[in-house]
Each structure stands twice: as structure tokens, then as C-alpha cells.
Amino acid sequence: MEAIADRIIPPDPQTPGGKDSGSAVFVDRQLAGPYGRQDGLYTRPPFQPGAKNQGRQSAAGPAEQYRKSLAALDRAVGSKYSGKSFAELSDDDKDAILKGLESGDLKLEGADGKAFLEQVVKDVQMGFLADPIYGGNRDMVAWKMIGYPGARYNYLDWIDRHNERFPLPPVSISGRAEWTPKR
């Protein structure tokens, strides 16, 4: 998952990628909780294909779909690249695999590769931009990159000031590290 996150959000000299920003940790935590189990959703058959805006209907929650899809991806990569795992591939080969999933050219046995990649991209993006309290956006790197002030109590004076960099560092729901009282 970390290798996929790093190809979706590749690192550059200014900003860590999906792995080092904690995006994969965010996804893992979400899958281990109510979202991954589909808590609160109706999960009884019959399941029928609905409109795209209705989402998928299935007894399998996101956690189970991730497990199936990642295992199927491992099998597909292993058969194509002499037993290597996705994480062991070169960046160009990883990109080729992801492009194959995106276009539908690479089929996964027992999983919808295209739908899986669409979900992974959304989840990794959420992890990159989420409040760090949820495991992603480590050290608020994404917020610093885009100039987002975070969960500040008030920045009304800045609402009409477009294209100006906010001069203060972002703040998480849990505050900033320098606000922690000394013990």
C-alpha cells in the first residue's frame, strides 16, 4: 500500500510522497475502523448494480475489498514480473501497472482493478490532505504545501485576501507541537 501511495503522490524535494506523509497509515486506520467494516450501512442481499452515484452494493466492506484487490494485484504483478511484488518494481514498472489498472487493460483475478484503483486514489488523497490526527498529512506537509491554515479558531481577516500566503503555520485539531505544555 505504501508503494502505491508513493506512486499516486510521488515525493519531490519540497514535499514527502504518499508513504512518508502517512497517507498509507491513514488508509490502514480507516480500513480498521467503522468505514472498513461498513458499520451503519445496509449490507444484506439482494445486491443490484445501481447508478454510479449510488456507490457499490456488496456484503464485503472496504477492508475486505482492499485485501482481495491487493492480493490479486500481487498475483498479477508476480506472474508478469518473475515473482516480484509491486513494491520491488522500478517506478516505471509501478506506473505501468497502475496505468494498466486505470485503463482496464490489466485485469485482476477476483477483483475489479479499475474500481480498486479509483478507490485507492481517493483514499490516498484523503490521507494526504486530512487532519494529522487521523494518521495522514504527517507534520501537516500537505497543508504547508497548499497554504491551508488548518483548524485555526479564526482567520476571518483573511477570507477576502486572495492569492496571499497565510503567514502562520497550520494547526491540527489537536493543536501544534509547540503548544504542548512542558512536563
Rounded-to-integer distance, Cα 131 and Cα 129, Å: 7
HSE of 167 in the Cβ direction (CA atoms, 13 Å)? Answer: 3
CB 84 within 8 A of CB 77: yes
Asked if the bond preceding 62 is cis, omega within 30° of 0, the reply is: no
Label residues 70-108 b or e (16+ Cβ within 10 Å = b): bebbeebbeeeeeeeebeebeeeebeebbebbeeeebeb
pLDDT reported for residue 44: 82
pLDDT reported for residue 82: 93
pLDDT reported for residue 177: 56
pLDDT reported for residue 180: 53
Rounded-to-integer distance, Cα 51 and Cα 19, Å: 33
Which residues, including other chains, have CB under 8 Å from residue 147's CB and lie 6 or more apart? 165, 166
pLDDT reported for residue 178: 61
pLDDT truncated to tens, each residue of the chain (183 aa)? 999 999 999 999 989 999 999 999 999 999 999 999 988 887 888 888 778 787 777 778 899 999 999 999 999 999 999 999 999 999 999 999 999 999 999 999 999 999 999 999 999 999 999 999 999 999 999 999 988 888 887 778 888 988 888 888 899 988 865 655 555
Rounded-to-integer distance, Cα 143 and Cα 132, Å: 10
Q: Which of 3, 28, 29 is nearest to 17 (CA)?
A: 3
Rounded-to-integer distance, Cα 28 and Cα 36, Å: 9
Which residues, including other chains, have CB under 8 Å from residue 183's CB and lie 6 or more apart? none
pLDDT reported for residue 141: 93
pLDDT reported for residue 148: 87
